Structure 1
Amino acid sequence: MVRDVEATPAQQAGPAPVLDGRGLRAGFTRLAPVAVFALPFGLAFGAAAVERGLLPLQALIMSATVFAGAAQFAVLDLWSHPLPLFSIALTVLAVNARHLLLGAALAPWINALPWPRRLLALPLLSDANFADSYRSLRDSGDDGGGDANLGILVGGGLALWLAWTAGTAMGAYAGSGLGDLSRFGIDLVMACFFAAVAAGDLKTLPALLPPPSRPLLRCSPWMSCRWDGTSSLPPLPALPSGPLRGDCALADSLSIFLAIAVMALTTLATRLLGPVVVSRFKMTRALEHFLTALCSSVIVAIVATVVAQGGWREAAAVAVAAGVMVITRSAVWAMLAGAGCAALWRAALG
């Protein structure tokens, strides 16, 4: 039986973690503006999934149960008949391995909840609601204006989940017509949001850049992990121009739903196991500081990957987002400014 961790110094100085409706509403409201920008990505996935041979309902079920955009796009490259279930599971595990790190960083608060609420807190864990909720949880212990309410994590995840599934439904059922959405700067919206989160806490920024962030570049949520150890940054896919069908058109429905179940269970495991692993170790101040640096490294790795695999357009958008965050202290305005910069760059320079 896994034992609970002891309270961390931050928890001892602040309120006990909770998960309630107030936090859920707050998290939903805070991330609703960001979640709107998940719609185009969901739309692109829905259209791409139908092109590969999934029925619209199957694509929608995949997005609703897996809720991991990078892994879902990566798996489409493996979609063939017969479906390679083992390869699909390994791909999903590789792309979603970062969830273990995110869950581990949240362990001091997650493991303080009763078991039923622990299981409710993590199924919708993603990069965006982690980045939004972690600072609030961390600052709750030192009168920094934070809130030790894990409902913020769940509410933010719910907003993102609704946008992702709604976008998938629109893409799967409506199809084509919008072309390449990156011309609107949509492909850099999340990277600009993460840059704003990092810039919002400049006092820890120097600690975000050491070696712990570098290994994470291989499997960031914006990269497709390959078995040869290399990785590539996939552009936001353009929507297909016609009702094409892929190699999987003849695959039977049972095997498709089995593959979706494998993807969903593998993703859920990566989200739930982080706090469980950490709960086997005594939570010391040194371990708490390590997890703080680790989760910050995850955020920086996401942004660094986009810039490293991109070009001047990506670097300019991220820099604008960080600068606007420093000036306005608003992550939403910073995100919009960065995306606007990317759109103007594309319009002016192609």
Structure 2
Amino acid sequence: MSVSQAVGAAGSDSGSEFRRGVASCVPVLLGTIPYALVLGAQATQKGLSAVELPMMTGLNFAGGSEFAAIQLWTSPPHILLIVAITFLVNSRHLLMGAALAPFLRELPRRKVFTALFFMCDESWALGLADAKQRATAGVKPAFSSRYYMGAALAMYLAWVAFTTLGALLGPMLGDIEIYGFDMAFPAVFLVLMRGMWKGAAAARPWLVSLVVAALVYLFVPGAWYVAAGAVSGLLAAWLMAGDA
């Protein structure tokens, strides 16, 4: 069966589309479990309870900003500082949402808001790649909301569950970073980048973003490197668009 036939067959049944989203998410989801446990363990060391942590991870579904918030957590917490850093770390979501926007135009607003609430790096990458594949194969609509929500909900539930489990097990496990669990975070993103790879020429904005983010990280305190990397990558993609 060809790619277009496979996608079209999957798109004919909403239930199978949802299951397809869950299935495609499983390999990436397994990679998020270790650093979900790390976040939960770190949160308990900062004084958060096993009730407070799932409230944080459930309402602010963005792992990078949660790690940043936990690192800055004090008693009492510096709310304005944490809010500012959270905005900087999550600023990449502005670009992610913009990339997904053309595929969301035909959806009702309530579905768009739901999709954007559950959007994380992994569900965004899977949903965008699937939409582009369906568009190339001529399948309409290109964006499968059922597929996307299958992946997004699987990520959401696993993230909340395993950060909570990490909070419960944290006191018994101690510093679980010594087991190398923190390497799962960059490993997942390398896998996602590999799935979006379209050749060296198309990856030039990635390189610009990487270099700028690394330089800002080395010389500018705080999380400004996230916004700098995102903006420089966007500008590089715009400037290089004519060369493609």
Task: State the TM-score bracket (shorter-chain normalisation).
Answer: 0.7 to 0.9
Aligned residue identity for 1:78 = L
Structure 1's 155 and 178: CA in aligned 2 closer, same or farther, altered over 3 A? farther
Structure 2 contact 34–182 (Cα < 8 Å) conserved: no
Q: Does 1:27 align with 2:17?
A: no
The structure carrying a bigger helix percent of its residues is 2
Flag the 1:143–1:100 CA change in 2: closer, same or farther, 3 A: same
- Tell me which of 209, 214, 236 is aligned to 1:214: 209
Contact 1:124-1:158 at 8 Å conserved across structures: yes
Matching of residue 173 in structure 1 with residue 168 in structure 2? yes
Question: 1:107 is matched with which residue?
Answer: 101
Q: Deviations over 1:138-170 (max 9, x none)?
A: 122222789530322222121111221121121
Identity of aligned residues (%): 29
TM-score (norm 1): 0.53
Distance 1:156 1:180, change over 3 A: same
Take 1:67 and 1:228, find their aligned partners in 2: how far apart are those partners? 18
User: Which of 39, 42, 49 is matched with 1:55 structurally?
Assistant: 49
**Hey, what's the Cα distance between the residues in 1 that align with 2:162 and 2:56?**
13
When residues 116 and 215 of structure 1 are mapped into structure 2, their CA distance, relative to the original with a 3 A threshold, is: same
CA distance in 2, matches of 1:74, 1:197: 22
Match of 2:144 among 149, 172, 185: 149
Q: Deviations over 1:55-91 (max 9, x none)?
A: 1110121112212111111112322233222211111
Alpha-carbon distance in 1 for matches of 2:225, 2:198: 33
Q: 1:203 to 1:160 in 2, by over 3 A?
A: closer
Q: Which amino acid aligns with 1:91?
A: I
| Contact 1:60 1:168 (C-alpha < 8 Å) held by counterparts | yes
In the superposition, the TM-score normalised over structure 2's length comes to 0.73
Cα deviation, 1:240-290, whole Å, max 9, x if unaligned, reads xxxxxxxxxxxxxxxxxxxxxxxxxxxxxxxxxxxxxxxxxxxxxxxxxx8
- Deviation string for 1:294-337 (max 9, x for gaps)? 8xxxxxxxxxxxxxxxxxxxxxxxxxxxxxxxxxxxxxxxxxxx
Paired position in structure 1 for 2:115: 121
Change (3 A) 1:194 1:52: closer
Question: Which residue number in structure 2 is paired with residue 130 of structure 1?
Answer: 124
CA positional deviation for 1:202: 5.1
Q: Equivalent residues in 2 for 1:196-207 (5 A)?
A: 196-200=191-195, 203-207=198-202
- Could you tell me which runs of 5 or more consecutive residues in structure 2 were left unpaired when the two chains were aligned: 1-7, 227-233, 239-244
Q: Which residue of 2 aligns with 1:85?
A: 79
Distance in 1, matches of 2:139 and 2:184, equals 26
- Judge conservation of contact 1:41–1:164 (CA < 8 Å) in 2: no
Matched AA of 2:209: R
Q: Distance between the aligned counterparts of 1:22 and 1:214, measured in 2? A: 37
The count of corresponding residues between Structure 1 and Structure 2 is: 215
Contact preservation (8 Å) 1:27, 1:155: yes
- Give ranges in structure 1 of 5+ residues lacking alignment: 1-13, 232-289, 295-350
Tell me, yes or no, if the aligned pair for 1:140 and 1:148 is still in contact at 8 Å: yes
Root-mean-square deviation (Å): 3.6
> Relative to structure 1, is the Cα distance of residues 149 and 217 closer, same or farther in structure 2, using a 3 angstrom cutoff?
farther
> Which of 39, 50, 58 lines up with 1:45 in the alignment?
39
Residue 5 of structure 2 corresponds to none
Whole-Å Cα distance in 1 between the matches of residues 113 and 77 of structure 2?
Answer: 30
